[in-house]
Amino acid sequence: MKIIQVQTQAEAAGAQRVSDMVGEGLRQRGHQVRTVFMYRKTDVYDMDPHADFILKGKPKGLLGQLQAALGLVVYLRRERPDAVLSYQHYGNLFGTIGGRLAGAKHLVANQSGAPHWGGLRGIATRLDRLLGSWGFYDHNVVNSAWTTEQFANFPARYRARLRRIDHGVPRPDRPYDRTRERAAFGLPLEARLVISTGRLNRLKNHVLLVRALARLPADVHLALAGAGPEEPAIRGLASTLGVADRLHLVGEVPPERIFAFLATGDVFAFASLTETFGLSVAEAAIAGVPVVASDLPVLHEVLAEPGGAAAALFAPSDDAAALAVAIERVLEDPALADQLRAAGRSLADKYDPARMCGAYEDLLGG
């Protein structure tokens, strides 16, 4: 089967990690899979032999956005895929429309974000609700029970197409040497190190991590892997709080180096304000890094087996003092850290990427 995956932007982020795993898994099952990005945001996919780009840079204004949308339609009509898998708000909209115009037999949307009702994303949510209710796509994938509940008030015809497929979460393919990887990323070799991954935007709430850092002992450092518009604010706050020398921004880390970065940390801290799954924090837990995470219902769901021990300590996403206390508990209590490591690694089978890819293949009829 010839399959095209449609993503909005090319960058190292959660939705892109998911499509990487789906694409690789379906290729291993004998399908032809390419991923097309409506625009190139960073260079992380420049060397990917399975990636294509409609625009080489972020679209500017309405004209640029129309150019990306029309370019996607032209691309899909030229490629004539049997199936289109789309991701993110705009990828879903334009991937669905383009897939229909290209005559694709199977259209599958992925709800990688909860519904929004304000601004441009609010418009995208309303259009998505119309497309789903009118049957423009065959299936609409949600990745957790919490995400499913966010569509409870949508029309019955929309909800009838919802399909639950939890994200696959990869596990490390080999051991990594902490000292060597800290040196490779330019991180202090002897410090107690709190780490986090994710795009540097407001919703990921990295400023709370910086505020917590200011409350932690002087030998504790913080390393963030990611890029984004909040970087100046993060650096500025660290300078104001007097912890700039203990903050390390390593930039965007390509997918093949994520586990090397995770190996550098003593604690993985995740302060996000909203998630539909929390791929990066689940990835850290499965890699065996003790986790402190935002007290979000979806993270309680994802980071524990039913009836099992949670693979994280939880702290409110607006309380730097509580976050610092939770981090320090893990740093000071080796038994607690070992308990969290064991609980995290136990999630690996539940989120086996092969299981996710098999579920997508089933949606496409094998």
Where do you find CATH 3.40.50.2000 in the chain? 2-168+352-363, 178-345
CA trace torsion 39, 44, 47, 52 (10° rounding): -20
Do 304 and 248 meet the contact criterion of CB atoms below 8 Å apart?
Answer: no
How many angstroms separate the CA atoms of 215 and 324, rounded?
6
Report the sign of the C-alpha dihedral through residues 7, 9, 11, 12, in that order.
negative
Q: What is the pLDDT of residue 366?
A: 59
Q: How much is the mean pLDDT over the chain?
A: 95
Report the SS3 class of residue 325: helix
The highest-level CATH class for domain 178-345 is: alpha beta
Q: Is the pLDDT of residue 68 over 80?
A: yes
Which pLDDT tens digit goes with each residue over 116-150? 888 877 888 899 999 999 999 899 999 999 999 99
Return the number of other C-beta atoms located less than 10 Å from residue 310's C-beta.
Answer: 19
pTM for this one? 0.92
Look up the CATH architecture of domain 2-168+352-363: 3-Layer(aba) Sandwich (3.40)
Specify whether the CB–CB gap between 186 and 250 falls below 8 A: yes
Which residue, 313, 290, 332, 319, is CA-closest to 215? 319
Partner residues linked to 52 by β-bridges: 36
Residues 337-364 pLDDT 10s: 999 999 999 999 999 999 999 999 999 9
> What is residue 119's predicted lDDT score, i.e. its pLDDT?
82
- Give dist(CA 340, CA 325) in Å, integer: 16
Residues 184-200: tens digit of each pLDDT: 999 999 999 999 999 99
pLDDT in tens, 283-297: 999 999 999 999 999
Residue 113 pLDDT more than 80? no
